[in-house]
Structure 1
Amino acid sequence: MLSEKIVGIDIGGTKISIGILVNGKIEQFVKLETPADGTKEEVMQQIVKGIESLEGYEDAAGIGIGAPGLIDEKEGVIFSVTNIPSWREVHLKSYLEDHFKKPVYITNDANCFAIGVKIYGEGQPFKNVICLALGTGVGAGVVIDGYLYSGEVAGAGEVGGLPYLDADFETYCSGKFFKQINKVDGQTVFEKAQQNDPEALKMFAEFGRHVGNLIKTTIFMMAPEAVIVGGSVSNSYEFWKDAMMESVQEFPYKKVIENFQVLKTEMNDIAVIGAAALFKNRYEQDMAKAQASKAI
């Protein structure tokens, strides 16, 4: 029987976060510095060091990993991580599987966010859901029929790069909207909105309309049951939610959005939880495929 204990790892340019999770709950956690200027072997050795620092890692069913960038999920190869210069083609899956003798699954961090929310968070009631991480940029992940859909090199769902107005959706639906379009600090606007400043509230309303247009685009593409938003900009959700929903309600095919929902995730530590969820989802998917092939 598969152990419910899973190692979840989030690899960032400055920190590597590692947790041991049981049924989606973090039982142990460690955060290490990323040796970003080191060789790719030194970064991988730091990951091994972090895993082995956690008591009971030997009993885990396997390892799930989220990392930035493009990833060959089948082979477990990470390509070109911006903040880790030596990581240009890293065969992390085979390295860790050889070391720990356990299955390893890897995808990008936005996909981990999506499957984490689907399995352990607000996405549980839905089979088909899109998750949008609105922060310094726009990340997105797609779940179809209960399973994460990644596409080629884990690049599916990256709607932030779609052209929009004079730029793209990422420019208008992330922190860039405040910094680049309005030349203001987003945190300052948030604090002013909390004081009912009319200009700050107006800016958030405009932001909400842009996010609503992004969500309508995802509905045209995928017609999901729900879109779930997270990321640092979602902390101000209360100030742009209504404008966003007004925009969503303008979708022309009303039957499509009759039961459609937009939710904000309240999950903490979603990066590590999502990495563990990735392992669970992919392992179950592989087992289902194996059973189906036996039945043929």
Structure 2
Amino acid sequence: MNSLQSLQTVIPGRPHTSYRGRFAPSPSGLLHFGSLVAALASFLQAKSKQGKWLVRIEDIDKPRELIGADKEILKTLEAYGLYWDEEVLYQSNQAELYNEVLNHLQHNQLSYNCHCTRAQIKQSGGVYLGTCKDLNLPAEGAAIRLKNQFPYTEFIDGLQGKVIVNSGLAKEDFIIHRRDGLFAYQLAVVVDDIYQGITEVVRGCDLLEPTARQLTLFKTLNAHQPNYLHVPLAITEQGYKLSKQNAAPAIDNNNPQPALIQALQFLGQNPEPALMKSSVDEIIQWAISNWQVNSIPKKQEIML
């Protein structure tokens, strides 16, 4: 028996017999229009397939969090008619599970400690070259890297089609636990997708490239890989994507209809003019009934 099969006792993932999607915001700020586009697309994809739509709060990077943002995010989703089907999962409650997976990888000699700094990696060309892989370095002050045995130099996206990944990046032994003691995004997101039985990930194109690393980790863990569908990013006239880091304005909870209609238009859904005078629930029901993935623009960025 492959020792990795024992991972099923560590992550008791759900059977993949029906559609399960998710929206996973970080509480580093309030939801903006770009967040709404991603949330709406993932919600409509799930509901159009009579599936479950889950919400996960990715709160493992405490220094970047805005106090109370998680509750405001959930209030905003409700104001826009985007109701989740199961209890909200907080990544901050998953530390025990993440540590079990890290121990599993270490036990199977699939990870190692690394003392290289970002400056050193930048000097060597910007891609980590496996410097510490065979040095058996101590854990104190070290990051943990995955031994990348399954590099993905390409994959198929549900909207973008065939995606080619930079070879150096695809083959890199990437960090799964940071030297500051925080769990890396790649580890947490994959473990949680397994744990929640996610069958398709619908999100923005800013996460298109990291998908290759996540596929590598799914393969390493001998776990079911979800499908992926990346929708375009909303950008400003200056070329900046709408993000919390760029101080994008929060969407209005008190008057959600205009932003909902605009998000549907952004996603190529051509909402009927009469919907502007409809309730939020009526707009959402129309959107579910008329959802067409093939109508979403394939451009990775669209100017507002």
When normalised by structure 1's length, the TM-score is 0.33
Higher helix share: 1
Q: Could you say which structure has the greater relative contact order, defined with CA pairs below 8 angstroms and 6 or more residues apart?
A: 2
Higher strand share: 1
When normalised by structure 2's length, the TM-score is 0.33
